[in-house]
Structure 1
Amino acid sequence: MASTDRMKAPKTLYSSCLSAYTAVRSNMSEEVTRNLPLNIQFDVYYKLYEDGEVCQLTALFSELPIISRLLRANNKRLQLIKSFQAVMAHNNRVAEQLKKAFIHNCENAVSVNADYNVAIELGLRLGSFLSEAGWFLESEEILRWCVVLLDSMLDRFPTEIKYMRLKLEVLHKLLHAQTVYSLFEQASGTHHKASDLVKQMASVNQAPNLAGLYAEFSVLYFFRSQYDEAYRWSNAALQELVPNLPVGVVIDVLRQASKACVVKRKFQRAELLIKQAVARAIDTYGFSHPKYADTLLDFGFYLLNYDSISHSVTVYQAALDARKKIFRELNLLVAVANEDLAYALYVHEYSSGHFSDAKANAERAIETMSKILPADHLLLASSNRVLALILEEMAIDMPAGMPSNEASKNMLERAESLHKTALRLTKAAFGEQNVQTAKHYGNLGRLYQSMKKYDEAEEMHLKAIQIKEMLLGQEDYEVALSLGHLASLYNYHMHHHRKAEELYLRSIAIGHKLFGPGYSGLEYDYRGLLHVYNELEDAQKVADYHDMIRRWRALREAQNRSDRPVLMNLEPVKPIEEIISKFKSIE
């Protein structure tokens, strides 16, 4: 039988040469490597990454001229992201060093009134790369300098279309970095600049395809929980899709439009779009690419909101695994995936009480974000909220008696601190009248109910309902959640059983309308009504709801039996015209 070594594929002559070169390169001048053809230079540095020579790579990647050249290598973006992230994990100041070097070059160019074209080209490439790699703050500052330089060029050549197009591309990338990093005031300014520039270019019949830019407008409104505007801009982006667009742009439009459909509870449209986005990502990039991971996170978002909770956990786990293979641990994109998985696990295990995996993922998200972000960054608000929800349930599930009582009290107090911090950060960013603010009020209401602070709990729930109804209408899923939580407070603790009955019935009606009779959340409302009618001694209603729960359970079991693995149930890639036509046909 052949040995394992002999069964391995032999190394190519090229790879053997790379290995030999990297073994002796320390004995020669670095200029030799820098003067190699670009693809060979890139492969030498990537071999250092594969060999674990991160210290050498860190020194090299700290030099702006080297990174500038490597960014020109064709079809090697993923390898550059992986090796750069290894450097950032070793020394997370490298992105800042590159930013400072770039800004220094810009300042020198301005001081001598030089040609800015080279600096603008480099800034666009470097800023775009850092954004893709998850280092948004450094990307944002580089791209802002590009706007400064382009404004100067347009002052000299106000009708030059190539500078208008270049500026619009920079603004598009800048808006993405600002939005993802929660720089919403700056993002609003960038949005207005881009809108004005589009109008200016349209006035001379020079507007480019705007699908990607409109999708980015939708992302901004989505992050700010302005869902009507997010949906409007995502539809505008869809109308701009044409067959010859880059596949990455098409994927981004499809997945953002899907998310906008989810929050507007247009689930059939959302499913169509996100499944096509995932299929395109697999077809074009495979299973080890950032774009694939991006689409999985948005697919998980659809599944979780559409009550396919166990499938959402599977998809979120796949997204996290994909991002970790590319970015390792110390990266904001990985932290966000950890948080999304933590919340899905929390929802999935809500009835079982097995929250250890959810807690571990939430804590990893916070730990990573705390190393990268300022202490009061808005992105920490969401992770704090998820961990607080998990801690509350763990505290409730603890057995009675000391020392469990003390541990439970400490968990609840920590959850309260996390929720209050999240509320403070969210109100500072978005104000009182915002869906995210309402969610934090609702979370505090549930927590105060667990802490036996019933008047405070009622106040928080009523605030949440008032804000959600004003922003989302009276029949939204978020409203139903808050109605159910207030009903629980009235039912089990404040003994306002008729009020609880009214709220439960409203919540059930919304759940039926959005998700049908097999919706998982109906169980809690049904059981709440059972308690209400037991307290009111209404025997007929008690019998009715026992029967209702039996029928609901049968529906859930049938649904679970019919479920297929979601990532094995994707349709093939279809022409974009067919997708848009089908999208329009769905009510």
Structure 2
Amino acid sequence: MPTAHANRRLHSSLLDCAVSSSATSFSRLKWAIRVLPPHLRLAIYEKMHDQGRLCQLGYEWCDLEVFEVVLSVKHRRYQVHQIFQALMDHGLRLNEVLTSCLHTKCSQFLAEKRWTVKEVTNLLNLSIDLGRFLLDASWYVASQRCFQLSLTIIDETPNVSSDWRDWQRIQVYHWLMDVYNSNCVYKDALVLYERSWALVKKYSEQKRPPLNLADVFIQYALMFFNVGDYDQAVGWAVDALKQIDGGRTSIRTVIEVCRHASKMLLTRRQFKQAELLVQHAV
């Protein structure tokens, strides 16, 4: 009787063989591969990358619907970034192609004016996910375009609640400010800060459902830190720390807030507090 360990090894070996064979025969199996679960499709794309089939892979990833599936595999994001950069180095302007496809999709979608709230949400999530991916990859201009399209979607869909619209706008402002901070576009960041903070105050004054604003406030802090206004930076960093709630704040946000706040506390020579924040982030 084969052991459980032997069965797992056999299953893994068969899966590797199937993935390798599918990658080799991709041109014939392309449409069959598109009905596979996302994680298996990504495994085949990874194998194509390893085999040097960059032209085939690049043509496939230029399809926005395909790349949307790739983005849904969150736990393999590092591998997706590696493949994406390899395609860019190969000469394919994948960042421009995908943002252009997104712009076309948004224009066609909004022109129909027969969408449901679910369809609006799905399109907005795609725009934000692509923008975040490009931001993490340091393709700032393309990322900025995605977030600006996100704002267009929010502004031009009147059949949604004002709570939903304001919350989504606050989130998109946060990511767009991250782009400006990362790309050193501080003039635009200051203008966006005024808009974002005014919207946050308006939302809070109307006694709507509470928001977790740790990631928003830490972007405010980063902007002021980068322009040399350290008092404002420390103030917003402290406000961001106060927003951290173990049940509602993501691990990524907690790490980012602690990391940036510790840097800002150093400007006040609060070394012990900065050290504690770094230890907490680690």
TM-score bracket, shorter-length normalisation: 0.7 to 0.9
Taking the TM superposition and a 5 Å limit, the aligned residue runs for 1:514-525 are: none
Amino acid at match of 2:265: C
Task: Note the C-alpha offset of 1:219.
Answer: 1.1
Structure 1 residue 22 corresponds to structure 2 residue 23:
yes
CA shift for structure 1 position 65: 1.5
**Counterpart Cα distance in 1 of 2:114 and 2:197:** 29
Flag the 1:86–1:162 CA change in 2: closer, same or farther, 3 A.
same
Q: Residues 223 and 92 (structure 1 numbering): CA distance in 2 closer, same or farther, change over 3 Å?
A: farther
Of residues 250-259 and 68-77 in structure 1, the stretch that sits farther from structure 2 once superposed is 68-77
- For 2:63 and 2:22, the matched residues in 1 are separated by 21
Counterpart Cα distance in 1 of 2:39 and 2:125: 20
Quick check: 1:247 aligned with 2:251?
A: yes
Instruction: Give the counterpart of 2:226 among 223, 226, 245.
Output: 223
2:177 corresponds to which of 175, 187, 192: 175
Higher relative contact order (CA 8 A, sep 6+): 2
Q: Distance in 1 between matches of 2:49 and 2:262?
A: 37
Residue pair 1:22, 1:47 contacting (<8 A) in 2 also: yes
| Distance in 2, Cα, partners of 1:196 & 1:173 | 17
Once the 2 structures are TM-superposed, how far is the Cα of residue 118 of structure 1 from its aligned partner?
A: 3.4
Per-residue Cα deviation, 1:95-125 (whole angstroms, up to 9, x for no partner):
0111111112222233333534332121011
Q: Residue 164 of structure 2: which of 162, 168, 193 is its match?
A: 162
Aligned partners of 2:130, 2:261: CA distance in 1, in Å? 28
1:282-431 map, 5 Å: none
**Which residue does the alignment assign to 1:117?**
121
SS of the counterpart of 2:146? helix
How far did residue 258 of structure 1 move? 0.9
Deviations 1:362-395 (A, max 9, x none): xxxxxxxxxxxxxxxxxxxxxxxxxxxxxxxxxx
User: Within 2, Cα distance between the matches of 1:160 and 1:93?
Assistant: 37
Letter in 1 for 2:156: S
Work out the CA distance in 1 between the residues paired with 2:183 and 2:140.
6
Q: TM-score when scaled to structure 2?
A: 0.87
Structure-2 residue corresponding to 1:61: 61
Of 197, 207, 211 in structure 2, the residue corresponding to residue 208 of structure 1 is 211
Amino acid at match of 1:234: A
Percent of matched pairs sharing the same residue: 24
Aligned residue among 183, 186, 196 for 1:184 = 186
CA contact (8 A) 2:147 2:175 kept: yes
Equivalent residue for 1:134, pick from 126, 138, 146 = 138
The aligned residue for residue 42 of structure 1 is 42
CA distance in 2, matches of 1:268, 1:143: 38
The amino acid across from 2:166 in the alignment is M
Q: What's the CA shift for 1:84?
A: 1.2
Superposed displacement of residue 146, structure 1? 0.7
Q: Name the CA distance, whole Å, in 2 between partners of 1:226 and 1:276.
A: 26
1:275 aligns with 2:276: no
Render the CA deviation track for 1:429-463: whole Å, top value 9, x for unaligned: xxxxxxxxxxxxxxxxxxxxxxxxxxxxxxxxxxx
Alignment of 1:457-472 (within 5 A): none
Number of aligned pairs? 267
The letter for the 2-side match of 1:37 is P
CA distance in structure 1 between the partners assigned to 2:194 and 2:148 by the alignment: 14
Question: Does structure 1 conserve the Cα–Cα contact (< 8 Å) formed by 2:38 and 2:73?
Answer: yes
Shift of 1:188: 2.0
> Does the CA-based 8 Å contact 2:23-2:47 persist in structure 1?
yes
The residue aligned with 2:6 is none
- Asked if the contact 2:45–2:57 (Cα under 8 Å) also holds between the matched residues in 1, the reply is yes
Structure 1 equivalent of residue 270 of structure 2: 266
TM value normalised by structure 1: 0.43
Q: How much does 1:29 deviate?
A: 4.6
Change (3 A) 1:264 1:91: farther
CA distance in 2: counterparts of 1:117 and 1:254, whole angstroms: 31
Corresponding residue for residue 447 of structure 1: none
Amino acid at match of 1:213: V
* Distance across 2 between alignment mates of 1:92 and 1:236: 43
**Aligned partner of 2:224: which letter?**
Y
- Residue of structure 1 in register with 2:31 after alignment: 31
Please give the alpha-carbon distance, in whole angstroms, between the structure 2 residues aligned to 1:160 and 1:215. 25
In structure 2, give the amino acid aligned to 1:211: A
Matched letter for residue 83 of structure 1:
I
1:43 is aligned with what amino acid? A
CA shift in 2, pair 1:135/1:92, >3 Å:
farther
Secondary structure (helix, strand or coil) at the match of 2:255 reads helix
Counterpart CA distance in 2 for 1:167 and 1:210 is 13
Q: Please list every run of 5 or more consecutive structure 2 residues that lacks an aligned counterpart in the other structure.
A: 1-8
Q: Answer yes or no: is the 8 Å Cα contact 2:54–2:87 preserved in 1.
A: yes
RMSD across aligned C-alpha pairs, in angstroms?
2.0
Contact (CA 8 Å) 1:219, 1:256: kept in 2 or not? yes
CA distance in 1 between partners of 2:48 and 2:193 (Å): 41
In structure 2, the CA distance between the partners of 1:34 and 1:134, relative to structure 1 (3 Å rule), is same
Q: Could you tell me whether the CA contact under 8 Å between 1:211 and 1:249 is conserved in 2?
A: yes
The answer (yes or no) to whether the contact 2:265–2:273 under 8 Å persists in 1 is: yes
